[in-house]
Amino acid sequence: MTIKKIFILLILVILTNCDYEPIYKNNNDSNLLIKKIHLIGEKKIDRKISNALNLESNNEIKNGHEIKINSQKKVDIVSKDKTGNASVFKITINVNVLLEKENKMIKEKNFSSSFTYNTKANKFNLSQYQKNIEANLIRAIAEEIFIFLNS
Share of the chain above pLDDT 70, in %: 89
Mean pLDDT of 109-136: 93
Task: Identify whether 60 is part of a domain.
Answer: yes
Burial of 115 (0-12, 13-18, 19+ CB in 10 A): middle
Task: Identify whether 105 is part of a domain.
Answer: yes
Task: Identify whether 98 is part of a domain.
Answer: yes
pLDDT(139) > 80: yes
Task: Identify whether 142 is part of a domain.
Answer: yes
Mean pLDDT of 68-88: 93
What mean pLDDT is reported for the chain?
Answer: 85
Task: Identify whether 140 is part of a domain.
Answer: yes
Range scoring the smallest mean pLDDT among 53-57, 102-106, 113-117:
53-57
Q: What are phi and psi of 96, to 5 degrees?
A: -110, 125
Task: Identify whether 2 is part of a domain.
Answer: no
Please give the Cα distance from 95 to 48 (Å, whole number).
12
Q: Which CATH number do you get for residue 71? A: 3.30.160.150
Please give the Cα distance from 38 to 40 (Å, whole number).
6
pLDDT for residue 17: 63
Please give the Cα distance from 72 to 138 (Å, whole number).
11
* pLDDT tens figures, 13-29: 777 766 656 655 554 44
Q: What are phi and psi of 32, to 5 degrees?
A: -95, 95
The residue among 58 and 20 whose pLDDT is bigger is 58
Split into its structural domains, the chain has a count of: 1
Task: Identify whether 84 is part of a domain.
Answer: yes
Banded pLDDT at 2 (limits 50, 70, 90): confident
Full residue range of the structural domain in which residue 123 is found: 31-149
**100 bridge partner residues:** 66, 105
pLDDT for residue 28: 43
Please give the Cα distance from 96 to 27 (Å, whole number).
24
Task: Identify whether 10 is part of a domain.
Answer: no
Mean pLDDT of 84-104: 91
